[in-house]
């Protein structure tokens, strides 16, 4: 394939540990940096690696304990994904083309030079060096080899048929009812609003009240003055991602089940649809990225079924019982099935 599939599909490449962090752990140092925080199969993830990745995200600038915990869980998951993908690449005996890696490094150097930024300066600011950059690009090139066989024209056409309305420029007109949880009620706040929204939806579906009347009566948003009408919007655009995603699942006249966004608990109905006219070839690059992302998710799900992932006690990580992509916020757990342990000396 002429276009590279992976730059937009694999964000995890840029959370890999710094070389210094890897060397600290591999030497068998007994300091806190060499503590094992997780194991992917038999491969450890060290505290040094996690700390290096967190520094890149500005972990030290985040004051909220809840935000720090979520960032740590996200970073641990990305490091686990990196290990799983490397293991699958090795299993498939995929090797990155060294000449392609060198060409991509040079391309990056040239692009930075156009902005008067030396590559070494750019890497230093992100806690990396050229050796680590090459290892990251090698993983990207190998991943492209792993994923490319799944990104066929037939698969792309099937994806376009399934998700045409999201991609061809279609615009929806929607009305919504939004309920604002009372955060003072703590953990009960959101479930309470979901129950209230369910009751309002039943009123609408049984004809007890129209959607417009319900919006004027119950909605906490300014659109209540227009019966909940928020106008037309495309799939990718000004609306919150959660709102757009849920709205584009609906047909005209449907009333959604309650769903949660950063703005509250919503019920949405579609009042009009303006079809788009973008062709398959026009959106093909976007389809390729979507299919590559889907392929990586499927590969990772397969890897997780085959490879045990264990976390040290107290290390924040997402509940493995809740699959990635499920609606709603993912639950973070702190318990692990093995205690944190020092790295073994080589």
**Which backbone phi and psi does 274 adopt, to 5 degrees?**
-110, 105
Residue 229: count of CB within 10 angstroms of its CB: 18
Half-sphere exposure of 321 (CA within 13 A, CB side): 3
Q: Which of 89-93, 182-186, 187-191, 313-317 has the lowest mean pLDDT?
A: 182-186
Beta strands in 163-278, from DSSP E residues, in sequence order: 171-179, 229-234, 259-261, 264-274
Cβ contact 211:227 at 8 Å: yes
Q: How confident is the model at residue 8 (pLDDT cuts 50, 70, 90)?
A: very low
The tens digit of pLDDT for each residue in 195-248 reads 999 999 999 999 999 999 999 999 999 999 999 999 999 998 889 999 999 999
Cβ contact 144:4 at 8 Å: yes
Q: Which helix (H) or strand (E) holds 85?
A: helix 65-91
Average pLDDT of the residues in 7-23: 44
Q: 0.75 exceeded by the pTM?
A: no
Helix (H, G, I), strand (E, B) or coil at 343: coil
CA angle 279, 282, 283 (to 5 degrees): 95
pLDDT: which is higher, 14 or 116: 116
The tens digit of pLDDT for each residue in 123-166 reads 888 777 888 889 889 999 999 999 999 999 999 999 999 999 99
Q: Does the pLDDT value for residue 339 go beyond 50?
A: no
Helix (H, G, I), strand (E, B) or coil at 226: helix
Cβ contact 16:129 at 8 Å: no
- Using a 10 angstrom Cβ sphere, with 0-12 exposed, 13-18 middle and 19 or more buried, the burial of residue 96 is buried
- Using a 10 angstrom Cβ sphere, with 0-12 exposed, 13-18 middle and 19 or more buried, the burial of residue 87 is middle
């Amino acid at each position: 394939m002429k276009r590279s599939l992976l730059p937009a599909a694999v964000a995890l490449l840029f959370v890999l540990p710094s070389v210094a962090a890897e060397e600290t752990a591999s030497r068998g140092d007994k300091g806190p940096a060499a503590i094992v925080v997780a194991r992917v199969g038999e491969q450890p993830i060290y505290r040094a690696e996690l700390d290096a990745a967190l520094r890149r995200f500005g972990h030290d600038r985040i004051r909220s304990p809840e935000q720090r915990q979520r960032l740590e869980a996200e970073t641990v998951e990305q490091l686990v994904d990196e290990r799983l993908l490397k293991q699958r690449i090795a299993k498939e005996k995929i090797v990155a083309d060294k000449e392609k890696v060198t060409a991509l490094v040079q391309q990056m150097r040239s692009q930075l030079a156009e902005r008067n930024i030396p590559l070494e300066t750019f890497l230093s600011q992100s806690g990396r060096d050229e050796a680590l950059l090459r290892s990251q690009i090698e993983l990207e090139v190998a991943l492209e080899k792993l994923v490319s066989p799944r990104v066929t024209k037939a698969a792309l056409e099937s994806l376009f048929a399934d998700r045409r309305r999201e991609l061809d420029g279609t615009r929806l007109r929607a009305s919504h009812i939004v309920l604002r949880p009372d955060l003072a009620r703590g953990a009960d706040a959101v479930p309470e609003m979901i129950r209230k929204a369910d009751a309002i939806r039943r009123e609408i579906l049984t004809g007890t009240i129209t959607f417009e009347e319900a919006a004027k009566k119950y909605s906490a948003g300014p659109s209540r003055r227009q019966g909940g009408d928020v106008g037309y919007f495309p799939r990718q655009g000004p609306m919150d991602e959660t709102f757009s995603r849920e709205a584009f699942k609906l047909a005209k006249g449907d009333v959604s089940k309650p769903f949660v966004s950063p703005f509250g608990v919503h019920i949405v109905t579609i009042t009009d649809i303006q079809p788009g006219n973008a062709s398959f070839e026009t959106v093909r690059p976007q389809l390729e990225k979507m299919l590559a992302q889907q392929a990586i998710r499927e590969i990772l799900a397969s890897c997780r079924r085959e490879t045990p992932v264990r976390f040290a006690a107290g290390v924040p990580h997402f509940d493995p019982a809740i699959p990635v992509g499920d609606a709603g916020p993912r639950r973070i757990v702190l318990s692990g099935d093995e205690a944190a342990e020092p790295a073994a000396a080589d």
